[in-house]
Amino acid sequence: MYYFLIAGCLLFGMVPAQAQEAAPPVAFRWAFGALTQGAEGLEFVAVRGDTVLHTGDRLRLLVELKEVCHVYVLYQAPGGRLMKLYSSPAPELEH
């Protein structure tokens, strides 16, 4: 299974082409985590390159936005077909 995170900056209103070229890049942080069955019940663990997940584990995608943008999560099926799993409205950033 492949999950893709795509973030696109949303510009509000009509902005001249010159101003669009100077727009800051989209900035965000992301990580994967999983709820796994541990010795003392459910545990939340960071998913890294060497993490082993098992049937029944629940995968979580964590995203922290630095700029106003839309977030899309896409799934690419084994045959190559893309499916949208999640799409969010542009959030308001807290300063």
The string over 48-80, giving b where at least 16 C-beta atoms fall within 10 Å of a residue's C-beta and e elsewhere, is eeeeeeeeeeeeeeeeebeeebbbebeeeeeee
Domain residue spans in the chain?
Answer: 2-11+25-87
Q: What is the pLDDT of residues 51-78, one digit of tens each?
A: 999 999 999 998 888 877 778 889 999 9
pLDDT digits (tens, 9 = 90+) for 17-61: 555 566 667 788 889 999 998 888 899 999 998 999 999 999 999
Q: Which amino acid is at 71?
A: V
